[in-house]
Amino acid sequence: MRLYHPAAFDFSTTVPSYWEASADPLGRTTQSLDGAHTADVAVIGGGYAGLHAALQLTKAHGLKVCVLEAGDIGWGASGRNGGFCCPGSSKLSYGQMIKRFGLQETGRFHTAQREAVDFVGEFLAANGIDAERTGNGELQLAHNETAIKDLKEEQAFLRDSFGIDSTFLSREELAERGNDSDAFHAGLQSDITFGLHPLKYVRGLARAAIDAGVTVFSNSEVTDWNSETGLHTLKAGAGQVTSKTVLVASNGYTDETLPAAIGGRLLPALTRIIVTRPISDNELKAQGWTRTDPSYDTLNLLHYFRLLPDNRFMFGGRGGTDASPEGMKAIQRSLRADFDSFFPRLSHVETEYSWGGLVCMTSTRLPFAGPIDGMDNVWGAFGWHGNGVAMASYAANRLADVIAGTRQHKDALPAMMQSLPGRFVLPSLRVQYLKAAYLGYGAADRWR
């Protein structure tokens, strides 16, 4: 059971993304599951989380691991995201975290987010994966005068609480450095975050996992799960895998009955991206936008964007709640209109690619990596709140050590990521909640 139009879960389709058009093939042969197999650990989901956990379980702990992926490797969010390797895997503000968990735990979470970004950078370098790393730090852009004050407060908070320096940039300073747009009134540049080619990253990760001995089955959607006498049997297509341990790493694409213990705890949300044709240097200069730093605005319904290495503009934003092809076309039009209003001197530049996908939120507004309550040897890693390039990678790598029994859960990950998020109240209304939230946020964005 899934929450959106079936088009969002058609695992047999190729995602029509710029990443698909520009990445080298996987370069390893993967089969669909066929026949009966056994493993120490079976992993559902072949994205950053599933593959990182599988790699660590195999390489560092010598376990026999099978990954089951419903589409091609990286078919989910990992192969189609905006490529911001960044913090932000919780939707709680630091102020809210401090109230709930105290300053020390909040600091631990903040550190983990920074470590996660470094983890991906080091992983790419160590494995010779050319994922087109770009930009140096992220740029948060004030969408109006009120938001300037928010940026200044955030800068002071990061400095005073965590000793982190960031640079405040006025409207004029933004224009001088190559971030010129009348839509933005000021900016806050941090030194964390870089951009990457998400599909090159996930394919490089899959190659590393396969070469380390992980068995990866693609086009193998798990449709049935049976647990008996301490063993779990997952069925996909014409085959099955029996294992003592299962890791659920299917994030926004999770079938709510696999396992039922997860049902009602996740809230997948749509987001959409457009990518233009390559833009000439003269056209970029005319707009005054020449920097590649991953950037986003301060709207509740935020936009995220960056120049790609071949001067294409990637521009992303909210994907609405209608995942049908018609719904997606309407969102694409509104995204393009936003792009044109931010960058009017680029409004003649054609859109060449457009696609959408699902991110995953939770009722606690926190990510989760830990045991699934009420089940034996079943673990989950999900809920990255639209920012999982770094955190899904890092958390899954650490969770693998916990699953293998070489590290205590409490030492591996911040406490606030360790508890299974509760069920949403009236879970069948989750998409309606989201619709209402979008309406409320949209109104707040217009009036704030």
Ligand X SMILES: Cc1cc2nc3c(=O)[nH]c(=O)nc-3n(C[C@H](O)[C@H](O)[C@H](O)COP(=O)(O)OP(=O)(O)OC[C@H]3O[C@@H](n4cnc5c(N)ncnc54)[C@H](O)[C@@H]3O)c2cc1C
Q: Please, which residue, 148 or 206, has the CB nearer to ligand X? A: 206
Return the range that interacts with ligand X (CB under 6 A); candidates 19-27, 56-64, 83-91, 325-333: 83-91
Min CB(13)–ligand X separation in Å? 11
Distance between terminal CA atoms of the chain? Answer: 38
Min CB(359)–ligand X separation in Å? 5
Return the range that interacts with ligand X (CB under 6 A); candidates 174-182, 322-330, 331-339, 389-397: 389-397
- Please write down the long-range contacts of 373-377, taking CB distance under 8 Å and 24 or more positions apart: 373/261, 373/420, 374/261, 375/227, 375/259, 375/261, 376/227, 376/230, 377/230, 377/232, 377/244, 377/245, 377/246
Classify residue 20 by burial, with Cβ atoms within 10 Å: 0-12, 13-18, 19+: middle
Residues in CB range of 382: below 8 A, 6 or more apart: 49, 248, 249, 250, 251, 252, 254, 266, 360, 362, 367, 368
Min CB(104)–ligand X separation in Å? 25
Return the range that interacts with ligand X (CB under 6 A); candidates 124-132, 338-346, 384-392, 410-418: 384-392
**Site pattern 337..356 for ligand X (x: CB under 6 A):** -------------------x
Min CB(194)–ligand X separation in Å? 11
Task: Kindly tell me which residue out of 132, 221, 297, 401 binds ligand X, with binding defined by CB under 6 A.
Answer: 221
Q: Please, which residue, 221 or 401, has the CB nearer to ligand X? A: 221
Min CB(273)–ligand X separation in Å? 5
Task: Kindly tell me which residue out of 82, 268, 370, 371 binds ligand X, with binding defined by CB under 6 A.
Answer: 82
Task: Kindly tell me which residue out of 112, 174, 349, 359 binds ligand X, with binding defined by CB under 6 A.
Answer: 359
Q: Rule CB under 6 A: is residue 107 a binding residue for ligand X?
A: no
Q: Please, which residue, 48 or 353, has the CB nearer to ligand X? A: 48
Task: Kindly tell me which residue out of 75, 201, 305, 342 binds ligand X, with binding defined by CB under 6 A.
Answer: 75
Min CB(242)–ligand X separation in Å? 16
Q: How many CB atoms lie within 10 A of CB 310?
A: 11
Q: Please, which residue, 185 or 368, has the CB nearer to ligand X? A: 368
Task: Kindly tell me which residue out of 140, 271, 362, 397 binds ligand X, with binding defined by CB under 6 A.
Answer: 271
Q: Rule CB under 6 A: is residue 8 a binding residue for ligand X?
A: no
CA 301 to chain centre: 16
Handedness of CA 67, 72, 76, 80 (dihedral sign): positive
Q: Rule CB under 6 A: is residue 80 a binding residue for ligand X?
A: yes
Q: How far apart are CA 253 and CA 269, in angstroms?
A: 10
HSE-CB for 414 with a 13 A CA cutoff: 26
**Site pattern 249..268 for ligand X (x: CB under 6 A):** xxxxxxx--x----------
Q: Rule CB under 6 A: is residue 222 a binding residue for ligand X?
A: yes
Residues in CB range of 176: below 8 A, 6 or more apart: none
Q: Rule CB under 6 A: is residue 169 a binding residue for ligand X?
A: no
Q: Please, which residue, 276 or 387, has the CB nearer to ligand X? A: 387
Q: Please, which residue, 45 or 320, has the CB nearer to ligand X? A: 45
Phi and psi, residue 255, nearest 5°: -80, 125
ω before 294 within 30° of 0 (cis)? no
DSSP letter assigned to residue 348: T
Based on its alpha-carbon atoms, the radius of gyration of the chain, rounded to whole angstroms, reads: 21
- How many residues belong to the site for ligand X (CB under 6 A)? 48
Task: Kindly tell me which residue out of 380, 388, 414, 421 binds ligand X, with binding defined by CB under 6 A.
Answer: 388
Question: In the range 22-61, which residues lie near ligand X by CB under 6 A?
Answer: 44-50
Classify residue 363 by burial, with Cβ atoms within 10 Å: 0-12, 13-18, 19+: middle
Q: How far apart are CA 266 and CA 365, in angstroms?
A: 10
Q: How far apart are CA 285 and CA 10, in angstroms?
A: 41
Task: Tell me if 112 sits within 8 A of 414, measured CB to CB.
Answer: yes
Residue, CB closest to ligand X: 388
Return the range that interacts with ligand X (CB under 6 A); candidates 57-65, 208-216, 280-288, 386-394: 386-394
Q: Rule CB under 6 A: is residue 320 a binding residue for ligand X?
A: no
Which 3 state secondary structure label does DSSP give 430? helix
DSSP letter assigned to residue 302: -
* Axis crossing angle, helix 388-404 with helix 94-126, rounded to the nearest 10: 80
Min CB(391)–ligand X separation in Å? 7
CA of 150: how far to CAs of 46, 190, 215, 427, in Å?
Answer: 38, 15, 48, 33
Phi and psi, residue 38, nearest 5°: -125, 155
Q: Rule CB under 6 A: is residue 384 a binding residue for ligand X?
A: yes
Min CB(8)–ligand X separation in Å? 10
Q: Rule CB under 6 A: is residue 86 a binding residue for ligand X?
A: yes
Q: Rule CB under 6 A: is residue 135 a binding residue for ligand X?
A: no
Name the residues that contact ligand X, by CB under 6 A: 11, 44-50, 68-71, 75-78, 80-84, 86, 221-222, 249-255, 258, 271, 273, 304, 316, 356-359, 382, 384, 386-390, 392
